[in-house]
Amino acid sequence: MKQRKNLLILAAILFIAAYFISFNKKNLTTEELVKTKCSRCHHTYEIVKDKRLSRLEWIAILDKMQANGANLSTNEYKNILNYLVENYSK
Ligand code: HEC
């Protein structure tokens, strides 16, 4: 009986660890962050993907999106801006 309880506790710990590892991985990719954050309102990511803008123009877009209610934290804003400039600039 005691062994079975230990096994259950071990399974629970493994489950929680796996959950946090996958959660952290998700947080790590800026691509996923951009896709999640920026397709919330436009429903499609095309609106972002089809653009080729300079850094300044992306800043203007991000500021406009913040005003629209994008609610990005300072870190998210910075990461998303860098990602957009790296991948979608002219
Ligand atoms: C809270 C809703 C919301 C979120 C979140 C959001 N947007 Fe928007 N976005 C809008 C609305 C509304 C419009 C159309 C009106 C406008 O241009 O402000 C728009 C339009 C746009 C346009 C076209 C406008 C132009 O001037 O070319 C781009 C590009 C864009 N969004 C990029 C982004 C990016 C990048 C993100 C992620 C950081 C994002 N949006 C997140 C609401 C949102």
Band (pLDDT 50/70/90 cuts) for residue 16 is: low
> How many CB atoms lie under 10 A from the CB of residue 87?
13
The range of the structural domain enclosing residue 12 comes to 2-87
Q: Whose CA is nearest to atom 8 of ligand 1?
A: 65
**SS3 assignment, position 36:** helix
Assess whether the C-beta atom of 81 lies below 6 angstroms from ligand 1: no
Q: Is the pLDDT of residue 26 over 80?
A: no
For residue 6 and ligand 1, the question of a CB distance below 6 A is answered with no
Domain count, the chain: 1
Candidates 45, 43, 19, 20; CA nearest to 32 is: 45
Give the pTM.
Answer: 0.77
CA distance 83 to 35: 11
